[in-house]
């Protein structure tokens, strides 16, 4: 009886899928390019993970299984731990300062009354998300160059005659530049997501709060934030999952030999070891190590989210 029920359920699901395909073929056609992308660039490369457990030689093409020997060699290299430390510092800094910013921006933008000005602010906040890191790297250099930068020109214009440091070659300040530029670029997209969540809140809740004498701050704290909490938790899980991703494009576009000590991250380490030194096994092991930490962070964060607020996780 159970098998018959399962067979009927499967047949019904197939019929629904066929009917949906006939009704909305263009929608399913739009899914085809991203499916091909994920198949080619996400799932197919997973076969290369096996090289983390092999001693691959580019000269002979041989790749004998060596178990965890590649990982033992990896953790014995001081350069790996330097990259790991920088990765954690930069990622954690971007998380601490970058995650609350979109929430605050969405609350502030939601308070704007003038429609055109509100749309202008939304566009201004979102625009940096569409600018490549190469262009942003040039903008940062234009702003911070001690000889021809905008900041230097402003300081000299107001009468400052002291030495203007070059933040892009300073080991004390380069990470700060990276974190600030990351927050500026990445904050806009999450802000739009929070604004969409705020727009779905029943406005009668605000009317009732006004009748009860609640001010704008009380409305935001008692109504807006609790209403968008599920969205905040989901984005938090995604952000924690990407905590080990310190941003290869950003670092690669902005770092230089003078700040390698504080800017070398796992992604750039994998790039140098794998593509420049041609040590594919070692680079694969480093990348797998990074991915496993991200997986553990996602699972733990999702478990905590389910405990704090049931049904708010991603699974």
Of the candidate ranges 10-14, 89-93, 100-104, 214-218, the one whose mean pLDDT is the lowest: 10-14
Across 206-221, average pLDDT: 85
| Residue 251 within a domain | yes
According to the model, what pLDDT value does residue 311 have?
A: 67
116 has a pLDDT exceeding 80: yes
On the question of pLDDT at 8 being above 70, the answer is: no
- Establish if 6 belongs to a structural domain: no
Mean of pLDDT values over 156-184: 88
Exposure of 127 by Cβ count < 10 A (0-12 exposed, 13-18 middle, 19+ buried)?
Answer: exposed
pLDDT band for position 104 (cuts 50, 70, 90): very high
Whether 233 maps to a domain, the answer reads yes
pLDDT per residue over 132-151, tens digit each?
999 999 999 999 888 888 88
Residue 192's domain comprises 74-308
Tokens representing residue 1 in the block: 């009886």
Average the pLDDT over 206-217 and give the result.
Answer: 85
Q: What pLDDT, on the 0 to 100 scale, is given for residue 164?
A: 84
pLDDT surpassing 60 at residue 77: yes
Number of domain units in the chain? 1
Structure confidence at residue 178 (pLDDT): 93
| 3-state DSSP of 185-207 | HHHHHHHHHHHHHHHCCCHHHHH
Residue 18 has pLDDT above 70, yes or no: yes
How far is 272 from 95, CA to CA, in rounded Å? 26
What percentage of the chain has pLDDT greater than the value 70? 95
Q: Which of 11-15, 46-50, 66-70, 247-251 has the lowest mean pLDDT?
A: 11-15
pTM, entire model: 0.81
> What is the structure's pLDDT at 51?
86
What is the pLDDT, as a whole number, of residue 21? 77
Question: 197 in a domain, yes or no?
Answer: yes
Instruction: Give the pLDDT band (50/70/90) at residue 274.
Output: confident
5 occurs within a structural domain: no
Distance between CA atoms of 33 and 17, rounded to whole angstroms? 19
Q: Residues 204-227: what's their mean pLDDT?
A: 86
% residues pLDDT > 90 (the chain) = 28
pLDDT band at 3 (very low <50, low <70, confident <90, very high): low
Q: Give me the CATH number covering residue 250.
A: 1.10.3720.10
Residue 187: closest CA among 255, 117, 109:
109
Statement: residue 175 has pLDDT above 70 = yes
Tokens of 12: 């019904």
> Is 60 exceeded by the pLDDT of residue 6?
no
Q: What angle do CA 49, 54, 60 make, to 5 degrees?
A: 115
Dihedral of alpha carbons 278, 282, 286, 289, sign: positive
Element housing 83 (H / E): helix 78-98
Helices first, then strands: H and E counts in the chain: 17, 0
Within a domain: 4: no
Whether 7 maps to a domain, the answer reads: no
Asked if residue 16 is part of any domain, the answer here is no
pLDDT at 255 > cutoff 90: no
What pLDDT sits at residue 11?
63
């Amino acid at each position: 009886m159970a098998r018959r029920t399962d067979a009927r359920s499967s047949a019904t699901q197939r019929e629904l899928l066929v009917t949906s395909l006939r009704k909305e073929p263009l929608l399913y056609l739009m899914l085809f390019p991203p499916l091909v992308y994920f198949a080619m660039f996400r799932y197919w490369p997973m076969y290369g993970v096996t090289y983390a457990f092999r001693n691959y030689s580019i000269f002979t093409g041989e790749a004998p299984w060596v178990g965890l020997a590649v990982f033992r060699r990896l953790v014995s290299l001081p350069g790996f731990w330097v990259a790991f430390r920088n990765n954690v510092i930069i990622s954690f800094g971007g998380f601490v300062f970058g995650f609350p910013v979109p929430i605050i921006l969405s609350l502030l933008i939601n308070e704007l009354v003038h429609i055109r000005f509100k749309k202008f602010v939304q566009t201004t906040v979102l625009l940096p998300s569409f600018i490549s890191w190469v262009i942003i790297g040039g903008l940062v250099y234009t702003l911070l160059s001690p000889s021809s930068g905008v900041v230097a020109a402003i300081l000299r214009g107001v009468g400052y005659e002291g030495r203007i440091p070059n933040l892009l070659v300073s080991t004390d300040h380069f990470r700060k530049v990276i974190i600030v530029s990351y927050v500026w670029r990445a904050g806009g997209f999450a802000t739009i997501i929070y604004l969409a969540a705020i727009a779905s809140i029943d406005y009668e809740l605000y009317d009732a709060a006004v009748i009860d004498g609640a001010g704008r701050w009380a409305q935001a704290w008692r109504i807006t934030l609790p209403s968008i909490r599920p969205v905040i938790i989901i984005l938090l899980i995604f952000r924690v999952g990407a905590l080990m991703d310190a941003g290869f494009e950003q670092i690669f576009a902005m770092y230089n030999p003078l700040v390698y000590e504080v800017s070398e991250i796992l992604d750039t380490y994998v790039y140098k070891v794998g593509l420049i030194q041609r040590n594919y096994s070692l680079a694969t092991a480093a990348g797998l190590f990074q991915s496993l930490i991200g997986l553990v962070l996602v699972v733990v964060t999702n478990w905590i989210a389910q405990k704090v607020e049931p049904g708010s996780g991603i699974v």
